[in-house]
A = this chain, B = another copy of it.
Amino acid sequence: MPDPTRVSFPLDESRIPRRWYNLVADLPSPPPPVLHPGTHRPVGPDDLAPLFPMSLIQQEVTTEREVEIPEPVRDIYRQWRPSPLRRARRLEQALGTPARIYYKYEGVSPAGSHKPNTAIPQAFYNREAGIRKITTETGAGQWGSSLSWAGAIFGIDIQVFMVRVSYDQKPYRRALMETWGGRCIPSPSRETAAGRAILDRDPNHPGSLGIAISEAVEVAASRDDTKYALGSVLNHVLMHQTVVGLEAMAQMESADDWPDVIVGCTGGGSNFAGIAFPFIGDALRGGRKVRVIAVEPAACPSLTRGRYAFDFGDTAHLTPLTKMHTLGSTFTPPGFHAGGLRYHGMAPLVSHAKELGLIEAVAYEQTRCFEAGVQFARAEGVVPAPEANHAVRGAIDEALRCREEGVSRAILFNLCGHGHFDMQAYADFLAGRLTDQSYDESELAMALAGLPSVAEPG
């Protein structure tokens, strides 16, 4: 029976999880293999070795249920974890809902988001492997800044290729990376063959995530002491984020409650998997059932409008092929504010869970998400990041459904980051300048038609 007054459910640092959770171990069927882009045959660990240290490759393919979190990583986690889990009582009152709304808040990390949960272990394992430099790409800058901090801790140079249009528009994200000692390069750059080729054709090219990935991969692949890191999508990244859900389970227990519904926003899928996978696994092992809802932007709706197919992770087609819900690797989402959700594909493991019927998906326009974010901010104080506003919208709609049905359900959502770096989006919304954006249907059709033709293995 939930305490009728409590708002927060703190955990002592001794309760930071000792092991990450791997959903693969509990799934009724394994996810499809990852294929070599040339041969279309399953890749082995050696194929990935130029880009990642072997310890992370092993985590990428492991079927073990739990992977031990190294003590040095837990040491760093302690600087902000366990993160708060709170009951949004003022929001419940404002909505007049009988629902019990809980949110896990990842905005208390130094970077203001969930990204350090995986940046720290990725830097740790690279350091263990003797790596001196990590390259990566970043769009809005949230991932690049988190990895920059992780690099500062473990003495690794971090080189971030930042999409040039974001580099120019978001000088504060760049300043954050540099404060933590990261090096931020506008992409396309003249530091790589891929970048030079593009600049030679168009010196004013605005860049894209796909190009930035190509540059980061090129640098990493060409040097023995340098590896590459990705902030979402991959299995090991999702697994690192399960500290979110594992803590939330302990906190829901201390609240004497359990979620009936879990809501998370999805871009690449990592914050969503972080909150949801431990609960899904618990249910698969015979625990309490839970509805799980992925909320994505209507302008980049991979789960609700994409095709479940093998596709490349980048536009330049350097990455392996993974089976996922995809809008096609040539699909370019419009420039809406939730930059962290602008990705053509969905994490293969999230996609597989969707196919297995373990999760639902819904897509929202950005203005409705900002409406929800402002309502949340006025009730609970925290101003959510534009990405997190999608989860807020989803949770509020579920709470309103409880009101309509006269049913009290426990709703848990992941508030994956604060919006203090995104106030321009709020300024635009409040001034009525924010509009819903849609992609070009014919462009989507073309991108889907361009999916690689892959003979299903097995």
Q: Which residues of B contact A287 (CB under 8 A)?
A: none
- The stretch among A175-183, A211-219, A274-282, A290-298 that forms the contact with chain B is A175-183
**A110, A112, A174, most chain B CB atoms within 10 A:** A110
Query: Nearest-CB distance from A115 to chain B (Å)?
Result: 12
With A13-B8, A79-B380 known as contacts, the answer to whether A175 contacts B420 (CB < 8 A) is no
15 A-B pairs, CB-CB below 8 angstroms?
A8-B13, A8-B78, A10-B10, A10-B11, A10-B12, A79-B380, A79-B381, A110-B383, A112-B420, A171-B423, A175-B427, A175-B430, A176-B420, A179-B374, A420-B421
Taking the complex as formed, is A149 at the interface, i.e. its CB lies under 8 A from any CB of chain B? yes
Q: Closest chain B residue to A86 by CB distance?
A: B79
Q: Which residues of B contact A79 (CB under 8 A)?
A: 7-8, 86, 90, 380-381
- The interface size of chain A toward B, counting residues with CB under 8 Å, comes to 48
**0/1 interface trace, chain A 407-421, chain B, CB 8 Å (1 if under):** 000000000001011
Taking the complex as formed, is A109 at the interface, i.e. its CB lies under 8 A from any CB of chain B? yes
**0/1 interface trace, chain A 158-193, chain B, CB 8 Å (1 if under):** 000000000000011111101111000000000000
Taking the complex as formed, is A6 at the interface, i.e. its CB lies under 8 A from any CB of chain B? yes
Q: Closest chain B residue to A173 by CB distance?
A: B423
A109 touches B75 (CB 8 A): no
A426 touches B382 (CB 8 A): no
Q: Which residues of B contact A152 (CB under 8 A)?
A: 378-379
Q: Which residues of B contact A149 (CB under 8 A)?
A: 377-378, 381
Protomer copies: 2
Q: Which residues of B contact A381 (CB under 8 A)?
A: 79-80, 109-111, 116, 149
Mark A residues whose CB is within 8 Å of B.
6-8, 10-13, 75, 78-80, 86, 90, 108-112, 116, 149, 152-153, 171-176, 178-181, 374, 377-383, 418, 420-421, 423-424, 426-427, 430
Which of B175, B420, B427 lies in contact with A426, CB distance below 8 A? Answer: B175
For the complex with contacts A7-B75, A179-B377, A179-B423, 20 further pairs of A-B residues with Cβ separation under 8 Å are A6-B13, A7-B78, A8-B13, A8-B79, A10-B10, A10-B11, A80-B381, A90-B153, A109-B381, A116-B381, A152-B379, A153-B378, A172-B423, A172-B427, A175-B427, A175-B430, A178-B426, A180-B378, A180-B383, A420-B420
**A171, A173, A179, A424, most chain B CB atoms within 10 A:** A179
Query: Nearest-CB distance from A371 to chain B (Å)?
Result: 12
Query: Nearest-CB distance from A123 to chain B (Å)?
Result: 13
Q: Which residues of B contact A80 (CB under 8 A)?
A: 381
Q: Closest chain B residue to A427 by CB distance?
A: B175
Query: Nearest-CB distance from A332 to chain B (Å)?
Result: 28
Docked Cα-Cα span, A7 to B174, in Å, equals: 29
A13 touches B10 (CB 8 A): yes
Docked Cα-Cα span, A181 to B374, in Å, equals: 9
Which of B90, B172, B377, B378 lies in contact with A424, CB distance below 8 A? Answer: B172
